[in-house]
Amino acid sequence: MSSVATPAPVPHRRRRRRTKLQRRQTRLAWLLLLPALAVVVFVAIYPLGKTVYQSFTNQEFLAGLTPTKRVGFSNYHTLIHDTIFRDTVVLTIKFTVITVSFEFLLGLIIALVVNSHFKGRGVMRAIMLVPWAIPTVVAAKMWLWMLDDTYGVVNDLGMRAHILSHPHAWIADPSTQLAAVCAVDVWKTTPFVALLLLAGMQVIPKDLYEAASVDGANQLQQFWRITLPLLRPAILVTLIFRTLDALRVFDVFQVFFGYRLGAQSMAVYNQSTIVGDGHVGYGAAMSVAIFLIISLFVVIYVTFVRVSEQ
Amino acid sequence: MKHRRMLVLTGGLGVLALIVFLGVAAASGSKPARAEKAAAMPAPKVPKAAAIRKKYGGQTITFVGDSVGNGHVRDTALATQFTKDTGIKVNVVPHPSASDQSYAQLARAFSSKSSSIDVAMIDVVWPGAFAPYLVNLKPKLGKQSKLHLASIVANDTIRGRLVAMPWFGDYGILYYRTDLLRKYGYSGPPKTWSALFAMAKKIQDGERSSNPNFTGFVFQGNAYEGLTCNALEWIASAGGGHIIDKGKVTINNAKARAVLDSIRSQIGKITPQGVTTYQEDQTEHAFDNGDAAFARNWPYQYGIGAGADSKVKGKFSVTVLPHGAAGRSVGTVGGWQLAVSKFSKHQGASIELVRYMTSPAVEKFDAITNSNVPTIVSVAKNKAVVKANPYLKPAIASVPRVTRPAKFLGARYNEASKVVYQGINQILTGSPASQVVPQIKARLQQILNSK
């Protein structure tokens, strides 16, 4: 028995027991994280979870008498066949693509201008932010009057400049309604895009441009070879911000069109389903669908970032 | 260098703040003259104020009140008087001017059992939906309710509970310019819709040369509750039923489709093209600014049009709305009630406010200063009231009133009305009635079936 060789000692893979200090530090870390985690659970995970739960019920807003019960996937089934919802998704995505493209291009130009050195640059930067500083509902109401066919200043100027032959009802006419609402959003949000891009430009080291000038690169080459590549992180942040914002647009649409059919954004239709019609369950299913649509855009962007980083 | 940049930036922000401030100040500085008329007649004193003060003095209640026309000025004047007499503080909050948004606001408060609203004004079509959240006023205000029109009290009584008190009534009427009718050789207002279209066209063609903003006819064409009221008048006055009759959807009939198409054919011709975005306020502005020959609106516009800052003072009158070839003139019943929230922490004080606001003295004050229709019969016949409000003359006030189909729909009314006004708005912006009305019918039927 004793001849049996004792097995070679297996190298200890087991983690070494953590010291008392380490354990205390871990505990402290969790303790310090706890408030932040609690906030995230409270403001993000709980409402989202509740919405998902509600989307499987027939809950009504003013449910005075009818008891709420679970209805499985029937809300989602209805949603797939809801042509009004489909129209709002298409309209909102159109709105997003148009506004984000214009805002990005114009914002980039403005950022380049105010990034260069000239007198009164500080004042210029502040004034540029005026549209963005006006609350959206106020701005929308203002544009509602400016675009009015009878009293609007836009038609008045157009007629005086002989661009228009007769006043046009920009908001009332279904063929120009999308253009009108996009124009207002571009007017209001371009400054924000310019501000984000400007912040990105300011961190690009100046000596890169000096070196490029010494090597004989002209302004355009400097822009394509230095500014744009180094601005990429800022551009991506800006695009993600704006896209998500545009996808959940509510105020301009609500002020301009009320609940006009064919002129509702996803958020307007969702709000009117829950609060106006009182269908909390169905509205929750719609919220989840909107959440997934917006997530899809996030996934696309994030993938793009990963791929471009490699 | 750094400091200088700071300075420039601060200066820039200062300029920005100034611009925003001036913009806001300019926007909020309009219409001061409107308060004058309400001030001309003092708000009535609160009866038995001492007893109320002893019981509830010092409490604070929130009243979600009016925002259209002079409504908020009136509410504030009455609340100030009430506070002075009883010691109950009243927080007056104007509700959103589109009534479906105001519905949404109340629905949100009630569904969250919020005590932030004590007294609210509710539309004539809402008692059914809100009944479970409102206090039964019968024990304390049952006696006073007997002064009011029995039909409205019945509307506000749900399963034997008086959930709201009638405050002021409403019905659609036609405003017309007496001076322009005379100028273009008309002896009286139009009786039919086709006569209105013809007159509006002639007057518009004549007036455009001196006023390029002039249009023949304005009404509420926006996709909101007000359009359901307008559409009901068009359809019922053409003999096309009342959208839902005896529990059946009746809107899809030839007369209804014909009148809707005839209105559509006039959009942009005798109306502004933008009339499909108009609510009450835009209608009133256009008419009182002297830019329209005819307008459809509620009686409240009369007081503003006859006011000091109106451009049509003494140049307009009111009558019943036109009718179609086969029908007769009607007016959609509107009107507002006062209700007390079940979640209010000061129900006693709130009921006293409602008692005061729906008393004969206040209804008389409201009718004369604000041209609202009294719901108390004796006030509606009062000479001073009729003199201030010609639409109370028997010839106009006795017009058949048509009601929106709320009683068939209960809590689903809002959704059904949305189907109606969205569809009608589509017609006004260009889709033929034969294409849209069947869709309206199908969706209404679906809502009725699922009830």
Closest CA to B121 of B185, B78, B174: B78
**Segment 164-193 of chain A within 8 Å of chain B by CB:** 167-169, 171-174
- Note the ipTM here: 0.80
Q: Report the pLDDT averaged over residues B408-412.
A: 85
Q: Which residues of A touch B8 (CB under 8 A)?
A: 120-123
CA-to-CA separations, B434 to B154, B259, B261, B330, in angstroms, rounded: 37, 11, 9, 24
Which residue in the set A61, A123, A272 is minimally distant from B12, CB to CB? A123
Q: pLDDT value at position B8?
A: 53
Q: Two tokens at A146?
A: 């400016």
Residue B200 lies in a domain: no
- Inspect the interface and report whether the beta carbons of A130 and B16 lie closer than 8 Å: yes
Burial class (CB in 10 A: 0-12, 13-18, 19+), B42: exposed
> pTM of the predicted model, to two decimals?
0.82
Q: pLDDT value at position B19?
A: 55
Distance (Å) from the C-alpha of residue B79 to the closest C-alpha of chain A? 28
> What is the three-class DSSP state of B421?
helix
- Inspect the interface and report whether the beta carbons of A144 and B277 lie closer than 8 Å: yes
Which residue in the set A60, A127, A257 is minimally distant from B16, CB to CB? A127
Residue B28 lies in a domain: no
Q: Which residues of B touch A122 (CB under 8 A)?
A: 5, 8-9, 11-12
Q: Which residues of B touch A150 (CB under 8 A)?
A: 213, 215, 272, 274, 286, 291
Q: Please, what is the average pLDDT of chain B?
A: 89
Tens digit of pLDDT for each residue in B7-16? Answer: 555 555 555 5
CATH classification of the domain holding B77: 3.40.190.10
Tell me which chain B residue has its CA closest to the CA of residue A134: B20
**Segment 257-276 of chain B within 8 Å of chain A by CB:** 268, 272-276
Q: How confident is the model at residue B4 (pLDDT cuts 50, 70, 90)?
A: low
Amino acid at A198: L
Which H helix or E strand runs over B429? none
Flag whether residue B224 sits within 8 Å of chain A, measured between CB atoms: yes
Q: pLDDT value at position A1?
A: 42
Q: How confident is the model at residue B129 (pLDDT cuts 50, 70, 90)?
A: confident
Top-confidence residue, B337 or B42: B337
Alpha-carbon distance B175 to B172, whole Å? Answer: 10
- Inspect the interface and report whether the beta carbons of B426 and A257 lie closer than 8 Å: no
Alpha-carbon distance B369 to B361, whole Å? Answer: 12
Q: pLDDT value at position B397?
A: 85
Model confidence at B411: pLDDT above 70:
yes
Which residue in the set A150, A168, A174 is minimally distant from B213, CB to CB? A150
Q: pLDDT value at position B14?
A: 55
Residue B437 lies in a domain: no
Distance (Å) from the C-alpha of residue A139 to the closest C-alpha of chain B? 11
Q: Which of B3, B7, B111 to mutate to test the interface with A (most CBs of A within 10 A)?
A: B111
Distance (Å) from the C-alpha of residue B138 to the closest C-alpha of chain A? 21
Q: List the pLDDT tens digit at each of the 310 positions of chain A.
A: 444 555 555 555 555 677 888 899 999 999 999 999 999 999 999 999 999 999 999 988 776 556 788 899 999 999 999 999 999 999 999 999 999 999 999 999 999 998 888 888 888 888 888 999 999 999 999 999 899 888 889 999 998 998 888 888 999 999 999 999 999 999 999 999 999 999 999 999 989 999 998 998 888 899 999 999 899 889 988 999 899 999 999 999 999 998 999 999 999 999 999 888 889 999 999 999 999 999 999 899 888 877 777 6
Q: pLDDT value at position B25?
A: 45
Q: Which residues of A touch B100 (CB under 8 A)?
A: 259, 276
- Give the DSSP letter string of B22-87: HHHHHHHT---THHHHHHHSPPPPPTTHHHHHHHHTT-EEEEEE--STTHHHHHHHHHHHHHHHH-
Which residue in the set B9, B11, B19 is minimally distant from A130, CB to CB? B19
Q: How confident is the model at residue B366 (pLDDT cuts 50, 70, 90)?
A: very high
- Give the DSSP letter string of chain A: -TTSPPPPPPP--SPPPPPHHHHHHHHHHHHHHHHHHHHHIIIIIHHHHHHHHHTTB--BTT-SSSPP-B-TTHHHHHHHT-HHHHHHHHHHHHHHHHHHHHHHHHHHHHHHHHHS--TTHHHHHHHHTHHHHS-HHHHHHHHHHHT-TTT-HHHHHHHHTTS-SS---TTTSTTTHHHHHHHHHHHHHHHHHHHHHHHHHHTS-HHHHHHHHHTT--HHHHIIIIIHHHHHHHHHHHHHHHHHHHHT--HHHHHHHTT-TT---HHHHHHIIIIIS-BHHHHHHHHHHHHHHHHHHHHHHHHHHHHHH-
**Segment 63-102 of chain B within 8 Å of chain A by CB:** 98, 100
- Give the DSSP letter string of B287-309: HHTT-EEEEEE-THHHHHHTSTT
Flag whether residue A144 sits within 8 Å of chain B, measured between CB atoms: yes
Q: Which residues of A touch B129 (CB under 8 A)?
A: 62
Tell me which chain A residue has its CA closest to the CA of residue B100: A276
Amino acid at A151: Y
Residue B196 lies in a domain: no
Alpha-carbon distance B7 to B294, whole Å? Answer: 57
Residue A55 lies in a domain: no
- For chain A, how many structural domains are there in total? 1
Which residue in the set A124, A133, A256 is minimally distant from B20, CB to CB? A133
Q: pLDDT value at position A62?
A: 74
Which residue in the set A133, A173, A278 is minimally distant from B411, CB to CB? A278
- For chain B, how many structural domains are there in total? 1
Range of the domain at A98: 74-118+187-309
Alpha-carbon distance B380 to B390, whole Å? Answer: 11
Q: pLDDT value at position B275?
A: 94
Tens digit of pLDDT for each residue in B225-276? Answer: 999 999 999 999 999 999 999 889 999 999 999 999 999 999 999 999 999 9
Share of chain B above pLDDT 90, in %: 69
Q: How many CB pairs under 8 A join A and B?
A: 127
Residue B257 lies in a domain: no
Residue A135 lies in a domain: no
Q: Report the pLDDT averaged over residues B164-185.
A: 95
Closest CA to B176 of B211, B203, B142, B146: B203
> What is the three-class DSSP state of B242?
coil
Place of tokens 């922490």: B345
CA torsion, ordered A225, A228, A231, A234, to nearest 10 deg: -160
Residue B149 lies in a domain: yes
Q: pLDDT value at position B180?
A: 97
Residue A237 lies in a domain: yes
- Inspect the interface and report whether the beta carbons of A172 and B110 lie closer than 8 Å: no
CATH classification of the domain holding A109: 1.10.3720.10
Model confidence at B381: pLDDT above 50:
yes
Flag whether residue B410 sits within 8 Å of chain A, measured between CB atoms: no
Distance (Å) from the C-alpha of residue A174 to the closest C-alpha of chain B? 7
Q: Report the pLDDT averaged over residues B171-180.
A: 96
Flag whether residue B5 sits within 8 Å of chain A, measured between CB atoms: yes
Model confidence at B150: pLDDT above 80:
yes
Q: Which residues of B touch A275 (CB under 8 A)?
A: 104, 107-108
Range of the domain at B88: 36-170+334-398
